[in-house]
Chains A and B, each alone.
Chain A
Amino acid sequence: MPKYDIKVNGISKSVDVAEDTPLLWVLRDHLDLVGTKYGCGIAQCGACTVHIGGTAVRSCSLPIASVGVQEITTIEGLSEDGSHPVQMAWKEVDVPQCGYCQTGQIMTASAFLDKNPNPTSDEIKTAMHGNICRCASYTRIHRAVEIAATKLG
């Protein structure tokens, strides 16, 4: 099987996997980074969101062969200790219900706020529309993104 050299959370890793293996499963099964979640596998729910070169990407639909040398950031690398402003806002609002979708939500929100630190309410809704929360914690997700924006802004 081919060998791929990738950089995850600032650390270089080498993995031996089939070329069509989605980054999601490389992270979860090969690198033990299970904070990135599986929800649908077809880029519909956002549970698997990571950052690649600072952009939010659905890792379930990105084959390892297409990752290249760009820096990958997962929830485990967003901050060392949960101190990223988006994580802090999530705690402040007490967003999660079951919690399963939340790492994906946080990764989508943090990439979005990097590009748009002063979003309107509608911009937040559009940015977060791709992430499903089956527990419907949407009201709090929205609020937490607003709070994170003020922390970042």
Chain B
Amino acid sequence: MSTSSITFNRRSFIRTSSLASGGLLIGFNLFTACKPKVQPPVDISQLNFNDFNAFIKIADNGAVTIYSPNPEIGQGVKTAMPMLIAEELDVAWDKVYVQQGILDTENYTRQLAGGSQSIRLGWEPLRQTGATARQMLVNAAAAKWGVAPSECTTSEGVISNAKGETLGYGDVVKEAAIMEVPESVTLKEPKNFKIIGTDAQNVDIDKIVTGKPLFGLDYKVDGMVYACVLRPPAFGQILDSYDDTKAKAMPGVIDVIRIGEKAKELSKEGIGNWTVAMGKSDKVVVIAKTTWEALKGKEAISAQWVNGSVLESTEFQDKQLIGLLDGKEFKTLRKDGDINIAFAKADKTLERTYESPFLPHNCMEPMNFFANITDEKIHLVGPVQTPEFAATAVAGMLGRDVKDVHLEMTRMGGGFGRRLYGDFVYEAAEIADLIRKPVKLVFSREDDMTAGTYRPAIKYRIKAAIKDGHVTAYHLKEAAIGGNMYGLIPNFFPAGAIENYQVDVANYQSNITTGAWRAPYTNFLAFAEQSFFDELAEIMEVDRIQLRLDLLEKVKGSTDERIQYSPERMQNVIKVAVDKSGWGKKEDGVFQGFAAYYCHNSHVAEVADVEIENGVPVVKKVTCVVDCGIVVNPLGAKNQIEGGVIDGVGHAMYGDLTFMEGKPQSQNYDKYRLIRMGEIPVVESHLIQNEIAPTGLGEPTLPPAGAAVANALKAATGNRFTQQPFSKFPELMQVPTKPIIG
């Protein structure tokens, strides 16, 4: 047994109280708990329950309810996070009721966004919270029996003593509620886990399959009206004038208003930079009694737009990015040794450029938000991944106290990074502030696809030097729209494995808004890098798997703290993937491609199998091996792995958003291709079993998928894909009539 150590005082984020209705309520601040850098308040007597955002309720009858504050975007954290609490609380999972509801609509603001980091950050504090609650219940029972707490054991919500007497948790909640919060608690050894590591169904499953109102778009209150917004049709345009006579005469249309003043305030203050392109222009809003009437009303507006800045086309942007790669203006993010000397001395060099398009997020549930603003209160409800930030920004833009803001989160019909950006919250708030009625802002699919914060178009150029059969230099250059790679990404593989190594970045500031998209930067960088290593192996005439393993070998024992990938874990997932995929042992007609990648603290290796059907290569199977530490919920984990891999394959094959004079050329699913049922590969997933603390799973299986497919397509067709999406190059999909040599 290990006593867990944590760098902050547990008392500051846990508080208990007895409930008027009977039972015990344990409140804890997940925000503080999961982000140890946030300083808990010094004087805890000043804390009240409003400062807590997650709760465990144990009723008199022993029933346990966990109020999970984390927004669910489809990654399963709403199930996995309560599992961590329940494990240490020592209750049976099927007796636990998980609610994302709010305990108190007046006073409860949920603060924490989801994402691949939730489980990693919550791993210790959530288990500690459960263990603390359990210890208090045990202490209460021990006091009742007059025995030492250490003589008591628990199992599935029942406390037993050495004499064989038992008490249910519900029997001692009253006493436990007034007990001291213990200073330290003992956490279970992983081998004693009963809930962690077992399959748990999505906690909302019953509601989802029966169509209960769960999502933002489903939220309704009496007297609510609907708003649809006419935004500039092209990035770079701004509103000049509009005629709303026709719209105002349409059935159900209540009013037509102009917004934009407040949003401009926001961008002036530097908040919400990502809304700049759209935020620079005023917008026309149609308020109507129903969604359909608002959508129709919007179509009836005739607006004039003027060009505020250059209307960019994809061709123009491509030239800018290539110009950057060819140029000399770079910021160096990492530099080891001297690449120039190594290149000068090289026997051979290889240089390749890889190109990716913009991608919209296309969450299945279009952006939307509810707002109701009175002099007393700003009530916001909907799907957003950054509620705290949105609440602060809205208060700032309306010149109100943030305490007036009550933000509730709904389940989200997908996130993929889009709902990190609060543009739709600000729009809803500005509208509600003007009309002073409860209002639901609704994006049509066209609005959603054309007013995006897209995955930026990026180009990578990679050059390597080979000397005496070794890779002696690696130079990665990035030219991106908007921002550049950040954080530890420049220190991912092959940093540390190659003596002379340099990462240079440059960016072009476009007026097209860009932002995070599932696995930011790595979603395409992995494709570039892992395609490049395959080519490198080919010109070095070495085994492509061995090349990667050998390079990883050199990272072992590294003392460079920036390098956080583990060469041992990486080698392991590679070896397991080789084994499980039958690498190199496939019958004729099956062409395999390999990729391995580390991001979001998890290690992944994938093998894609391509077969020829009716003369075209088809991705039939992807074997995916993941080391993400302890797997909290294998059932949910496999769902994430399958989804991530298929998403990666789908976007590499089909995803493409181009611009013509600032206008997105796809507006809806008729012109934007997403992978569908008939195109999916079988995904065989393998989770590495170990006892290392869990890491991210929502994102890391996506990045390597594109490279594994490209490498398999090369094997099948002899052609190298360096640009996504692959479907844009049907000529490269031609299968040669003669067998490929080499």
Contact = CB atoms under 8 A, between A and B. Distances in A.
Interface in B612-657: 635-636, 639-640, 642-644, 646-647, 650
B211 A36 contact: yes
B311 interface: no
B175 interface: no
A51 interface: no
Given A30-B290, A87-B209, A141-B677, A39 B364 contact: yes
A133 B210 CA distance: 17
Nearest to A134: B364
B208 A96 contact: yes
A91 B680 contact: no
* Range for the number of chain A residues in contact with chain B: 35 or more
The 9 closest A-B pairs by CB, nearest first: A35-B211, A100-B413, A98-B74, A75-B211, A136-B646, A44-B669, A97-B74, A99-B208, A25-B292
B646 to A, nearest CB: 4
A40 B694 CA distance: 37
Nearest to A133: B364
Contacts of A97: 74-76, 639-640, 643
Interface in B475-519: none
27 contacts: A17-B292, A18-B252, A25-B291, A37-B365, A38-B217, A45-B364, A90-B209, A96-B204, A97-B74, A97-B76, A97-B643, A99-B74, A99-B202, A100-B413, A100-B414, A131-B677, A132-B669, A132-B674, A134-B362, A134-B363, A135-B643, A136-B643, A137-B639, A137-B643, A138-B676, A139-B642, A141-B677
Given A25-B290, A142-B677, A137 B642 contact: yes
A5 interface: no
Contacts of A120: none
Q: Residue among B76, B204, B205, B682 with the most chain A CB within 10 A?
A: B205
Contacts of A94: 199, 201-202, 205, 635-636, 639
Q: Residue among A34, A38, A100 with the most chain B CB within 10 A?
A: A100
Given A21-B292, A96-B202, A102 B209 contact: yes
A29 B363 CA distance: 21
Given A76-B211, A134-B364, A135-B364, A98 B292 contact: no
Interface string B271-301: 0000000000000000000111101100000
B676 to A, nearest CB: 5
Contacts of B202: 94, 96, 99
Contact of A34 (B218, B411, B416): B218
A113 interface: no
Contacts of A42: 445, 668-670
A101 interface: yes
A136 B702 CA distance: 12
B678 A129 contact: yes
Contacts of A34: 211, 213, 217-218, 220
B211 A74 contact: yes
A106 interface: yes
B700 interface: no
B215 interface: yes
B115 interface: no
A1 interface: yes
B292 A29 contact: yes
A82 B212 CA distance: 11
B27 to A, nearest CB: 28
A100 B211 contact: no
Contacts of A91: 201, 205-206, 209
Interface of B: 72-76, 199, 201-202, 204-206, 208-215, 217-218, 220, 226, 251-252, 290-293, 295-296, 362-366, 411-416, 444-445, 635-636, 639-640, 642-644, 646-647, 650, 668-670, 674-678, 680, 682-683
Contacts of A44: 668-670
B210 to A, nearest CB: 4
A12 interface: no
A13 interface: no
Nearest to B680: A138
Interface in A37-57: 37-42, 44-45, 47
A77 to B, nearest CB: 10
A89 to B, nearest CB: 9
B680 A136 contact: yes
Interface string A118-151: 0000001110111111111111111000000000
A147 B662 CA distance: 48
A136 B205 contact: no
Contacts of A139: 642, 646, 680, 682-683
A126 to B, nearest CB: 7
Given A35-B212, A36-B211, A138-B646, 17 more contacts: A17-B290, A18-B293, A25-B290, A28-B291, A29-B226, A34-B220, A38-B217, A39-B364, A94-B201, A96-B74, A98-B364, A99-B413, A103-B208, A136-B644, A137-B643, A141-B677, A142-B677
B670 A99 contact: no
Q: Residue among B73, B212, B365 with the most chain A CB within 10 A?
A: B365
Contacts of B75: 97
A30 B293 CA distance: 12
Nearest to B415: A98
Contacts of B644: 136
Interface in A76-112: 76, 79, 81-82, 87, 90-91, 94, 96-103, 106
B209 A106 contact: yes
A20 to B, nearest CB: 8
Nearest to A26: B292
B668 A40 contact: yes
Given A1-B251, A42-B670, A136 B647 contact: yes
A26 to B, nearest CB: 8
A106 B413 CA distance: 16
Given A125-B678, A131-B677, A139-B683, A103 B211 contact: yes
Nearest to A39: B364
A39 B446 CA distance: 10
B414 A134 contact: yes
A39 to B, nearest CB: 6
A18 B642 contact: no
A99 B251 contact: no
A98 B413 contact: yes
Contacts of A130: 676
A82 B213 contact: no
Contacts of A38: 217, 291, 366
Contacts of B74: 96-99, 135
A33 B212 CA distance: 9
A151 B3 CA distance: 49
Contacts of A75: 209-211
Contacts of A137: 639, 642-643
A44 to B, nearest CB: 4
B209 A132 contact: no
Contacts of B366: 38-39
B680 to A, nearest CB: 5
Nearest to B698: A97
A134 B677 contact: no
Contacts of A20: 296
Contact of A134 (B208, B212, B674): B674
A39 B251 contact: no
Contacts of A124: 677
Nearest to B676: A129
B651 to A, nearest CB: 10
Contacts of A76: 210-211
B263 to A, nearest CB: 25
Contacts of B218: 34
Nearest to B201: A94
